[in-house]
Each structure stands twice: as C-alpha cells, then as structure tokens.
Amino acid sequence: MGIFGAGMGGTAISALTTVKLYTNVGEKAPFLITAVALAAYAVVAGLILRDAPGRRAPTGSLLARLAGNAKLPITWQASILYAVAFGGYVAFSVYLPSYLKTAYDLDAADAANRMAGFVTVAVLMRPVGGWLSDRIGAVHVLVMGYAVVVVAAAVAAGTPLLEPVGTIAFLALAAALGSGSGATFALIAKVTDPARVGGVSGLVGAAGGLGGFVPPLIMGYVYGQTDSYAIGLWMLALTAALTLVLTLTIVRRTARGQEAH
C-alpha cells in the first residue's frame, strides 16, 4: 500500500507547490524540477535497490499470471471499489480548482490552496482507513466511506455557501475517499492468497488510475452542455450509492467466505 500512498502524497506536494512555482519561477519550472527528480531517483534506484534475499522468481508468463489474477472475484470487486475511492480522489484533485474558480469565483491561488487542503485530508485518511480496517473490518470502513460520499456529493450538488457548508462537504468527501482507498488494499490483503497480493494490487491500482481519468472529462462535458456542476456531482452520489450496495452484498460475501476458510 505504500506506493499508492506515496502517489497520494505526491499529489498533495504538487498541489501546494505547482502554482507557486509557475507564478514565481516560471512556467517551465514544475516540469524541469519533476524531470530532475525522476532522473535522480532512477540513478539512485539503479545503484542501491536489490531483490529481497531468498526471493523466488514467479513462474509462468506475465500474461498468464495477469489472466489468473484478473479471474479472481476480489480483483474485479476491489477494482470497482478503488476506481470510485482513489479515482474520485484523483478526479477531484484535478477538477476541484476549476470548480471552485467557476462556481465560487475564487482566484487561482485560493482555489489551489483549498484543493491542497482536500488532498492533504485524503492523504492523511488513507492510513487511517487501513488502521481502522484492521480493527473493525475493511467492509465496515468501506460502507461508512461510501455512505459519506453519497451524502457529501449530494450536498455539494446544491452549490451551498462555501463557508462553512461547502468546505465541510468537500473535506468530508476527501476523508471518505482517502479512507476508502486504504480500506480497499486492507481488504485485498485479507482475502487474497499472499502469493497473489502483488499481482491483484497492481491490477486494482490500474483501475484506480482509470477511475481518476474519466470523471473530469465527464464533468467537463456535462458543464459545457448545461453550465451546471450539479449533474456531475449527482452522478458521483449515484455511483457511490451503487458501490455501497456492491460492498454490502457481493464484497461482504467475499470477505465472509474467506474468513470461513
């Protein structure tokens, strides 16, 4: 779960620094700094990273292993959960500044700072979601998280006053999406053969990336056609409601079936 948590942390750092670098240093600065950081990491990784002692190389072709992992029920179930939780987080981290500038007439810096707050809450809640999953069960954490998303997205759809109702709604969304992201991987660890956890996690992580790519496009298209963000937010509420039903039924049965073994 650490790699995916680091991805959320990177988004928080980006939110806090990109606009300031662009404004104060130059439009190329964020890209150049990112390129240098990636190149430095590649060099350091090549010099010091090694396989764990006693690691056994996987057998069979990559395609065969991927196909085998993709057929597991937990893979497609967790992919849906993560596409909504992490995908929703990514989508809002991308789209929230535009939404705040248009719906609430904020300037770019203020919108970016508020988005950074959203991202920070989500990042902090991810390990909390995993911690709670170890104590009360991942399914319970997911159920609570998606229920909060339904309510908060419905409230936000009405474009309430930003202070305090709108702010509370978006921070509640951040907390729920972050905890749901952590709980998803806690669930994978509980119900998956340890030898398959890495492969399943990789497929689920890819689903989360796709989940973050599509919603901003849909919300942008809907806003372009209707001049309203309400439809997009109601779509999020409906998606979270359907995911909540999935969690209460099929995902819960999967978790209980594993516990029975």
On whether residue 23 sits in a domain, the answer given is no
Q: Which whole-number Å values give the CA distances from 110 to 12, 97, 214, in the listed order? A: 15, 9, 25
Give the 3-state secondary structure of residue 171: helix
On whether residue 17 sits in a domain, the answer given is no
Under 8 Å CB-to-CB from 219, ≥6 apart: which residues? 91, 95, 229, 232
On whether residue 187 sits in a domain, the answer given is yes
- Return the pLDDT at 4: 47
On whether residue 36 sits in a domain, the answer given is no
On whether residue 4 sits in a domain, the answer given is no
CB atoms within 10 A of CB 125: 23
pLDDT 10s digit of each residue in the chain, 261 long?
444 445 555 666 766 677 678 778 888 888 899 899 999 999 999 999 887 777 666 676 778 777 888 888 899 999 999 999 988 888 888 788 888 888 898 888 888 888 888 988 998 999 999 999 999 999 999 999 999 999 999 999 888 999 899 999 999 999 999 999 999 999 999 988 887 888 888 889 888 888 877 877 787 788 888 888 888 889 889 999 999 999 999 999 998 876 545
Model-wide pTM > 0.75: yes
On whether residue 49 sits in a domain, the answer given is no
- Return the pLDDT at 261: 52
Under 8 Å CB-to-CB from 148, ≥6 apart: which residues? 172, 173, 175, 176
Q: What is the CATH number of the domain that holds 121?
A: 1.20.1250.20
CB-CB contact of 29 with 22 (8 Å): yes
Domains identified in the chain, total number:
1
Domain ranges, residue 133: 62-256
On whether residue 222 sits in a domain, the answer given is yes
On whether residue 7 sits in a domain, the answer given is no
